[in-house]
Structures are given as structure tokens and as C-alpha cells.
């Protein structure tokens, strides 16, 4: 949660902000679920922040605010707070395990030192031994000391074993949290945050290696109309269907992401424009070839189509500039009648 909202929620404005949140949600026709409340709290607490701008855009475009929308916004804009919480928890477990292992190690050190002293003393006394009984006493003492050290070592080993397992469990859990924070909950593709990171990395790799990199943006045609006609749940299924086709085509090192509502993006490192065009055409054709059915009524929904645009990264071009050109190519596809793939380079040539 941004510090400003956190602070407000513990200050004199806390209740008026919360009331305002409820009023605004009612006005926007959004259910006051805990997640929506949290999102709206951030929105009104920081209207100019990224989340605030996105919610305003959704409201202005009269896009439906479904559970999937809320999940997506939360995954995209709230994960840092959640992640911090998880990381704090993980930190606490790690602290506990480290403290336990440290104290076991300190205890083992003390025992080893005492054992060393016992051995030294025994060595001295053996030198001065005169009868068998005295020797017997020394050996009995040594045996007891050795057993003590063995027990200490066993305890240390057990503690280390427990801690190792706990730390491994923690690592797995954090890895899952990290994956969740980077994944779009509805479609399981990379979310926008992950896409931004992948794009920056791909641009950097292309810059240092001198290898080509291509960015594509894809958008479902007439999605709003589809949503209005068949309802948001069916709209969500369509998003999942389009995402599944893209996901299958996006084997590493390609990346497929849900970039916005019905907008997707793909990164193609080290491929030629011809290869990328072939891949995008295959995706476009596969999507258009399937007639979907509405799950609840079995109504025939017909096929959905997508439009796509792609651009080849220019030397030293930033991710943002590349995205802008790919977007322009996408809109050229839309203008030319949709259900097609256009490259930014073909637009340049035409101009």
C-alpha cells in the first residue's frame, strides 16, 4: 500500500475516505467486495497513481468492472504490498531458523572446546598414571565426554536438517508468490508488470548482442460488443481462449502477455520478420477457425477474431518507442478491416 494511503487510513481523514470509497463504488455500480474496496481505497487515496489512472480509464470507457478485472488490477498494482507482506513473513521464518542454527552451533563449539580440555587433561593424567584403576577412571571419563559430544552433534544435525527443509519450503513458496505476482490470474499469461520487465530485458539483450528483436501487439476485435451481447463471464472465457492459443505459440524465448483488458503482447527475440509474421498469422487463423459455445446455454457464439501489429526493434530504440510503433501497426490492422496482421515496416514502406 503506498505510504500516503497507509498514513491517511490512520489519520483524521480515515473514515471520510472510507465512506467516500463506498459512495464512489455505489455510483460506479461496483460491488463492495473486500478486493474492490481495497482497489477503490488506493484509487481515491492516490487518484493520479497508476492504479487510479487505470480505474478512471476503465470507468470512462464504460468497460465492465468484473471480478476478473479486479483480480487483474490487484495482480498488477497491489502485489508489491502483498509481496512485501510475504517477504516479511519469510524474513521472520529465516530469522527464527538462523537463530536456532546459530545457537546450536554455539553450543556445539562450547562442547567441542570442553571436550578438547577434557582430552588435554586426560593426556596429562595418563602420563602420571600408576595403576589400572586410575586408568580405568580416565577412560570412563573420556568415554562419557565423547558420548556427550556425539549427542550434541546429533542435535546439531537434526536442527540443520529441519532448518534446511524449512528454508527449501520457504524458497519454493516465495518462488510461487513471485510467479503469482507476475502472472495474469485470468489467462495465466505474463501480466503487464512481467511484460514490462521482459520487454526491458529483451531490448537490453538485443542492444548488447546486436541480434534482432520483434514486438507484437494483438487485440480481440469487437470485444466490447461481444461482452455486451453475451455477458462478462463469456467475455472472460474468450480472453482465456485467445490467451491459450497465444500461450501455445509462445515457447521460450518468446513471451506472451496480457497487456491490458483485451490487449495482448508478444516478444520475439532473435527471429526474422518473416518468422514472426508466420507465427502471428498462424495464431490469427487458429483463433478465427474455432466457433465458440457459451458454456451456460450452449449457444453458438461464432468465432472471434484478432488484429495484430508488429515492429522490428531499431538500433537503440527503447521499449516504449517500439511499443508505440507496434501499436500503430495494430491500429492499421483495425482500420484496414480487422482480422489481420500488419507490420510497422510495411507502413513505413507505404508512407
Looking at the Cβ atoms of 19 and 295, the one nearer to ligand C2E is 295
First-to-last CA distance in the chain? 47
Query: 197 an active-site residue?
Result: no
Using CB under 6 A as the criterion, which residues of the chain lie in contact with ligand C2E when the complex forms? 234, 237, 240-241, 244, 292-295
Cβ-based nearer residue to ligand C2E, 53 or 295: 295
Which parts of the chain are beta strand (E)? 213-220, 255-258, 263-269, 292-293, 300-302, 306-312, 341-343
Q: What are phi and psi of 300, to 5 degrees?
A: -75, 125
Of the candidates 97, 103, 104, the residue with the CA atom closest to the CA atom of residue 156? 104
Look-up of cell digits 511499443: 323
Spatial contact of 45 and 13, defined as CB atoms under 8 Å apart: no
Residues 1, 283: Cα–Cα separation, whole Å: 39
DSSP structure class, residue 138: H
- Listing DSSP states for 85-132 in one string gives HHHHHHHHHHHHHHHHHHHHHHHHHHHHHHHHHHHHHHHHHHHT--SH
Residue 294 CB, nearest approach to ligand C2E (Å): 6
User: Which lies closer to ligand C2E via its Cβ, residue 218 or residue 322?
Assistant: 218
**DSSP classification of residue 290:** P
* C-beta atoms surrounding 48 within 10 Å: 7
> Least distance to ligand C2E from the beta carbon of 33, Å?
22
The nearest distance, CB 241 to ligand C2E, in angstroms, is 3
Of 252 and 298, which CB lies nearer to ligand C2E in the complex structure?
Answer: 298
| Residue closer to ligand C2E, measured from CB, 173 or 294 | 294
- To the nearest whole angstrom, how small is the minimum distance from the Cβ of residue 242 to ligand C2E? 8
What residues does 257 pair with on adjacent strands? 190, 265
DSSP designation for 259: -
Of 224 and 293, nearer to ligand C2E (C-beta) is: 293
Q: What grid cell was written down for 20?
A: 467516500
Residues 319, 205 contacting (CB under 8 angstroms): no
Residues whose CB is less than 8 angstroms from the CB of residue 168 and which lie 6 or more positions away in sequence, other chains included: none
Tell me how far, at minimum, the Cβ of 74 lies from ligand C2E, in Å: 20
CA-CA distance, 239 to 260, in Å (whole number)?
Answer: 11
Count CB atoms within 10 A of the CB of residue 107. Answer: 14
Min dist. Cβ of residue 342 to ligand C2E (A):
26
**Shortest spacing between CB 75 and ligand C2E, in angstroms:** 18
Active-site residue identified among 38, 262, 277, 317: 262
Catalytic site positions: 262
Amino acid at each position: 500500500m503506498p505510504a500516503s494511503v497507509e498514513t491517511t487510513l490512520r489519520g483524521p481523514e480515515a473514515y471520510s475516505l472510507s465512506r467516500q470509497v463506498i459512495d464512489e463504488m455505489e455510483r460506479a455500480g461496483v460491488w463492495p467486495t473486500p478486493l474492490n474496496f481495497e482497489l477503490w481505497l488506493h484509487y481515491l487515496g492516490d487518484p493520479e497513481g497508476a492504479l487510479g489512472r487505470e480505474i478512471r480509464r476503465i470507468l470512462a470507457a464504460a468497460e465492465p468492472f468484473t471480478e476478473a478485472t479486479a483480480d487483474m488490477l490487484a495482480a498488477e498494482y497491489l502485489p508489491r504490498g502483498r509481496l512485501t507482506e510475504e517477504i516479511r513473513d519469510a524474513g521472520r521464518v529465516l530469522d527464527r531458523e538462523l537463530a536456532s542454527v546459530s545457537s546450536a552451533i554455539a553450543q556445539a563449539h562450547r562442547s567441542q572446546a570442553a571436550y578438547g580440555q577434557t582430552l588435554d587433561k586426560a593426556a596429562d593424567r595418563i602420563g602420571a598414571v600408576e595403576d589400572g584403576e586410575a586408568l580405568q577412571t580416565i577412560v570412563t571419563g573420556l568415554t562419557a565426554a565423547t558420548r556427550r559430544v556425539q549427542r550434541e552433534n546429533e542435535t546439531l544435525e537434526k536442527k540443520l536438517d529441519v532448518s534446511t527443509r524449512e528454508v527449501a519450503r520457504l524458497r519454493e513458496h516465495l518462488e510461487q508468490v513471485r510467479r503469482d505476482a507476475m502472472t495474469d490470474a485470468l489467462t495465466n499469461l505474463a501480466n503487464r508488470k512481467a511484460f514490462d520487465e521482459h520487454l526491458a530485458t529483451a531490448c537490453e539483450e538485443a542492444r548488447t548482442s546486436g541480434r534482432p528483436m520483434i514486438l507484437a501487439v494483438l487485440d480481440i476485435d469487437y470485444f466490447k460488443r461481444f461482452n455486451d451481447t453475451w455477458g462478462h463471464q463469456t467475455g472472460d472465457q474468450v480472453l482465456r481462449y485467445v490467451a491459450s492459443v497465444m500461450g501455445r505459440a509462445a515457447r521460450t524465448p518468446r513471451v506472451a502477455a496480457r497487456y491490458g483488458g483485451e490487449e495482448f503482447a508478444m516478444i520475439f527475440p532473435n527471429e526474422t520478420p518473416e518468422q514472426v509474421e508466420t507465427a502471428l498469422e498462424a495464431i490469427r487463423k487458429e483463433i478465427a477457425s474455432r466457433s465458440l459455445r457459451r458454456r451456460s446455454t450452449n449457444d453458438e457464439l461464432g468465432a472471434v477474431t484478432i488484429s495484430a501489429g508488429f515492429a522490428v526493434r531499431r538500433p537503440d530504440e527503447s521499449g516504449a518507442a517500439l511499443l508505440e510503433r507496434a501499436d500503430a501497426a495494430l491500429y492499421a490492422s483495425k482500420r484496414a478491416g480487422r482480422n489481420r496482421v500488419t507490420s510497422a515496416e510495411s507502413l513505413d514502406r507505404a508512407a
